[in-house]
Amino acid sequence: MSSDYQAFYHRRCVMITGGLGFIGSNLARALVELGADVLIVDSLIPDSGANFFNIDGIADRVRVNISDIRLQTTLNHLVRRCEVIFNLAGQISHIDSMRDPYADLDINCRSQLCLLEACRLSNPRAKVVYAGTRQVYGRPDSLPVTEDHLVRPTDVNGINKAAGENYHLLYNNVFGIRACSLRLTNVYGPRQLIRHNRQGFIGWFVRLALEDREVQVYGDGSQIRDFVYVEDAADAFLRAGASEVCNGGIFNVGGAQPTSHRDLVSLLIDVAGTGTVRYVPWPPEKKAIDIGSFYADSSRFRAAVGWNPQVGLREGLTRTIAYYRQHLSHYLESPAGTTLEPA
């Protein structure tokens, strides 16, 4: 796929659910630069990562609708003009899903059905790209993990995200609503939630390093992950949204270079010039849902649309640290704790 995928969005009506959040707001910024007509839909669920500062500088170039996407009549109206829908709304905390499974079910399953039903009823021509997750795989049998790996999540969030993904594939196959799913690995970068530690570990590590505090790593730090800079993740969504080849498919979107937690923290502290590290035992409730080492094989997506991550980990962390050093006050609305959520 050439740069035509970028020209595809010029003057095209695009909706982003969860668009005031981390990935959604970065995607909105990319779409604005491409000349798209951008509608952001967000419910502003507390602790979800939605932040109006995330659209600072583009607020006058996007439309924002504060709506709960579980409200069918509202969605029926909102989707009517949209040609592409990037569906990033969801609850992503693994720990929260175990503490309140019904809320996770409502957000990650019912809301997905409402969106897809809105498309079926009011705009069956829309293309939908769903933000899936590598969490659906559970503990991998072998590395790197391909899309052919069994789906067997270790927590409620992974189960509900798998269901949400399958709703999209079902509506593609049965109702002709063109849809696909991108199974994201660990996305990081500017505009990520860092107020608390329940939405993954890398943003929390960034905050602790910036505040010259102790970064606590569970175990010996040998666990491996792959990391995707948010601009590369946004580019993956753009390519999928412009491609008919992706319809009905699931695709891994992972980083180029697997990295251990130990090496990640060492690099982060080196880039920030602040922070320390200590290795601590796993809390039992978090160890129970941990998946061990994981990194993805993204060759299927690369072959389909030509996507390749462009930003290496050191460069991505450097950009991330610089962003928060400039704008940290906009992301610290509540005091920090001292514990870490597993990836």
Do 116 and 219 share a domain, yes or no? no
Residue 146 has pLDDT above 80, yes or no: yes
Read off the tokens for 44.
Answer: 């502003």
Beta strands 224-225 and 259-260 are antiparallel
343 assigned to some structural domain: no
What total number of domains does the chain contain?
A: 2
Single-letter code of the amino acid located at 338: T
Average pLDDT score over residue span 334-338:
38
Do 69 and 108 share a domain, yes or no? yes
Bridge partner residues of 251 (DSSP): 182
Q: What's the pLDDT at 3?
A: 67
pLDDT-based confidence at 335, cuts 50/70/90? very low
Cis peptide before 144 (omega within 30 of 0): yes
Nearest to 324 by CA among 50, 53, 64: 53
Q: What angle do CA 26, 252, 165 make, to 5 degrees?
A: 85
What percent of the chain stands above pLDDT 90?
83
304 assigned to some structural domain: no
Do 102 and 161 share a domain, yes or no? yes
Do 195 and 272 share a domain, yes or no? yes
Do 70 and 108 share a domain, yes or no? yes
Boundaries of domain holding 54: 4-187+228-253
Do 244 and 320 share a domain, yes or no? no
d(CA 186, CA 182): 12
**Kind plus residue range of the DSSP H or E element containing 69:** none
Q: What is the pTM of this model?
A: 0.94
Residue 194 CA from chain centroid, whole number: 14
Do 57 and 164 share a domain, yes or no? yes
Domain of residue 48, CATH code: 3.40.50.720
Domain of residue 287, CATH code: 3.90.25.10
User: What average pLDDT is seen over the chain?
Assistant: 93
For the stretch 55-93, pLDDT in tens is 999 999 999 999 988 889 999 999 999 999 999 998 877
Do 130 and 46 share a domain, yes or no? yes
pLDDT-based confidence at 197, cuts 50/70/90? confident
